Structure 1
């Protein structure tokens, strides 16, 4: 199978170096890699000397979650599978790439994503988010599963995701005008075109974020904006609020068991996430400058 690995980067830290070292340890050898660099000090230069790696430099202001990823695919139009990683996702073992590629032996699979484990030392909130969203059992969903799983059917994560080239072309590639969640957008489009989405629990990366409460608010505002502007996804697959309720219940159980004193912070944290999401859903009534201030992706509001 002809694969292409693509990693967009911006001011990376040492996690990128760890990721590059793990790529070289994979059971699939000499994986062709494209690094799309929108801002770095070339600190990774020595690490890629012995890799089949192309670096594409772009201006920081031109980065776009979907558009930049599509640019990477367009640079290699004949690849069978495109694998995307973020700079802070570290492959957990030498089989990660091989395991996610294997799911494409099923001709119906259009895209796949791997399991995310919390980084060492992650907060209990970051740890719970990974344990809740990324279980240890693989599955494959098709459009028929939306009646049972709702919004969960279109879940995906470009921190470690793979796309069949044919399926990506079939849906017109990544969107260039979404604030984030380009992965969910493509997954939804693929499901509607009768492709399937696979979750591969055996393909693992370490990836988590220790967001502050304010950062959580801003991220969920952006998610709300995405759901408002791509309302067809909620209309077709259901609202996200149901999954949110299950998340909160699971979080309470974990905190009661391990860190009960953090329940008060959880209430405030989740309340801010909910407020941010609701503001995002109603962003049309908000001033553009205000939206830019409370958004995590400020460049979107130019």
Structure 2
């Protein structure tokens, strides 16, 4: 299959009050080489005047939705249903900026293997990334590509189904074979689909040569909220941990790697790092036990309070 000469690719981007990174993303989309694609933007309440000029030159469709109706799963599910003429769906977030002219093409090369159902690219830290944000990208997105499948779960555990819709592509036929994105999840719609695909016999490809700049300098409280939501997702989809193992084991490996990285670069931050990681663990465990918490409390500590309405 030569993707280069087929216009069967769409880039899907949910947008909510984007900053200038979205302008940079649109400009980089126009610079992509060796690939033909359309762009499908799901706009929830943003001011189009801020980026309409950068849309010029792109083959795009934009739809508007009420911000209160956005859901990580349902919004992407509807987009996949609407974009029914495309064989490959590339999902991106508004703050991920393609790193070079071949990012899209390199990602789609994964599908030359007909057993690959989904693929994701490498995330590089932004120039302003703090040391902890930079380490997270280096840990989760190594320099070497790999292909993962069900037989890897003993070796990789829950990392077998690691993927990120910040920059990920799906074979549409495989996506619909497992039922499309879930209708209602707090986050983790990408992990949900990847796990379903792997259990159904599909492979996941990680393409280290398909790169975007994307990172967040979260505060400790933001990290707590994010990990609370991750715990909620794992609690509501227990089959993922049952099939691939708990996340805590991978978390320990991350912390050990982080300590080593911090000690090599900024050792005076190690105690701050340990406190941050303790808060992340606390948030995750609270998320796992969310059924014991009141709805009002969950709204206060979640990164996605609308989910609880």
Question: Does the TM-score normalized on the shorter chain lie above 0.5?
Answer: yes
Gaps (5+ residues) in structure 1? none
Shift of 1:49: 2.0
Q: Hey, what does 1:257 align to over in structure 2?
A: 264
CA distance in structure 2 between the aligned counterparts of 1:76 and 1:34, rounded to whole angstroms? 8
Aligned to 1:211: 218
Verify the 8 A CA contact 1:171 1:193 in the aligned structure 2. yes
The equivalent of 1:76 in structure 2 is: 83
Quote how far apart the aligned CAs of 1:243 are: 0.7
In the other structure, the counterpart of 1:100 is 107
| Partner residue in 1 for 2:250 | 243
Q: Find the aligned partners of 2:83 and 2:267 in 1 and give their Cα distance.
A: 51
TM-aligned CA deviation for residue 54 of structure 1: 0.7
Partner SS, residue 219 of structure 1: helix
Cα 1:82–1:129 shift into 2, 3 Å: same
Is the Cα–Cα contact under 8 Å of residues 9 and 36 in structure 2 kept in the other structure?
no
1:27 and 2:28 equivalent? no
Give SS of 1:28's match: coil
1:280 and 1:28 map into 2 onto residues whose CA distance is 44
- The aligned residue for residue 273 of structure 1 is 280
Q: TM-score, normalised by structure 2?
A: 0.96
Q: 1:199 & 1:29 partners in 2: Cα distance?
A: 19
Matched, 1:10 2:4: no
Cα deviation, residue 70, structure 1: 1.3
Distance in 2 separating the partners of 1:250 and 1:295: 27
SS at match of 2:164: coil
Equivalent residue number for residue 169 of structure 2 = 162
Q: How does 1:1-302 map to 2 (within 5 A)?
A: 1=3, 2-28=8-34, 30-42=36-48, 43-302=50-309
> Does the CA-based 8 Å contact 1:112-1:199 persist in structure 2?
yes
CA RMSD of aligned residues (A): 0.8
Q: How many residues align?
A: 302
Distance 1:205 1:298 in 2: 28
User: Are the equivalent residues in 2 in contact too, given 1:30–1:52 (CA < 8 A)?
Assistant: no
Is the CA contact 1:38–1:58 (under 8 Å) kept in the aligned structure 2?
yes
TM-score with structure 1 length normalisation? Answer: 0.99
Q: CA deviation at 1:301?
A: 0.4
